[in-house]
Amino acid sequence: MRRIDIVVNTASGSVGPDAPAIAERLLAEYGVAGRVHAPTTGELELRLREVIDAAPDAVLVLAGDGTARAAAELAGPQGPMIAPLPGGTMNMLPHAIYGERPWQEVMSDCLQAGEARMISGGEVGGRLFFVAAILGSPALWATAREAARDGRFDLAIARAQRAFRRAFSGRLRFVLDGRPKQRAEALTLMCPLVSTALDAEERALEAAALDPSSALDVFRLGFNAARGQWRDDPSVSVGRCRTGSVWAGGRIPAILDGEPARFDPNVSIRFRPKAFRALVPPA
């Protein structure tokens, strides 16, 4: 590789102010030509786009889940390789690709002998995800979490109250791969990268419809999920899908790879077999 660029968000959950200097030291240690960018939070999206458009061989992204997902989406299957290093709070995509390892260790392995790996994903309303997506009222709890993370506890409480009021009030309707129409409280889509029910090379998403009808059902679902047995819960129906349509009476709240989103009342979903190229250590 002739050039590697690194984009660091020092304000992200587990990065810290010393991260750019550490990244520069690792580049020098492995004799890799590159540049470390440390934009402010307000400049992050623009700088990320500029770096990817400049077409280096690879872009290492040390930031949160939203930035990791955005980088992979911007690069696509034809752009530079992306290495989403774990720098956020949840680190869904980094952990799915590299396991739960420190970012310095992952970066060292990628610089030493990194190679390209094509990653599949899913698409909801034109936006990509690479780990999992949740559509429906349970996704409203994510906005409460974001407000609490920003220190806006008054806003977090208000959003939590809204999420509670919305529960069971607006079920989704959906059709997957032309099968009969279904209704559910929420629809979860998992990529082969993380689904334990799918082979890593399978060309489909795992779709789970969650339809608890009471607070008791929610409690039971949570209990089964804590034991890793949520697929066996009677309020969950599981299948595979490549394409589908989802609609509701109003805008659809969602979570894409840990980040909140909102879609129009009618939205399409599909599996993307070639979503982006990840820079990974040798198998």
- Token code pair at residue 283: 């198998």
Determine how many CB atoms are found less than 10 A away from the CB of residue 12.
23
Closest CA to 14 of 90, 110, 69: 90
Cα–Cα distance between 66 and 145 in angstroms, integer?
A: 14
- Dist. CA 279–CA 149, nearest whole Å: 30
Give 46's strand partners: none
What is the CATH code of the structural domain delimited by 127-275? 2.60.200.40
8 A C-beta contact, residue 8 and residue 23? yes
State which fold the 4-113 domain adopts: Rossmann fold (3.40.50)
The Cα 204–Cα 192 span in angstroms is: 7
Domain definitions of the chain by residue range: 4-113, 127-275
Rg (C-alpha) for the chain, rounded Å, is: 20
Distance in angstroms (rounded) separating the CA atoms of residues 108 and 98? 12
Largest CA distance in the chain: 59
Q: Strand pairing of 4-8 and 34-37?
A: parallel
Strand partners, 147: none
Per-residue pLDDT in tens (0 to 9) along the chain, 283 residues: 789 999 999 988 788 899 999 999 999 999 999 999 999 888 999 999 999 999 999 999 999 999 999 999 999 999 999 999 999 888 989 999 999 999 999 999 999 999 999 999 999 999 999 998 988 877 765 555 565 566 665 655 565 556 555 554 468 999 999 999 998 888 889 899 888 777 777 899 999 887 766 555 554 544 454 444 556 666 677 789 999 999 998 889 888 988 888 999 999 999 999 999 999 998 7
Q: How far is residue 273's CA from residue 266's CA, in Å, rounded to a whole number?
A: 23
Identify the bridge partners of residue 8 per DSSP, sorted by sequence position: 62
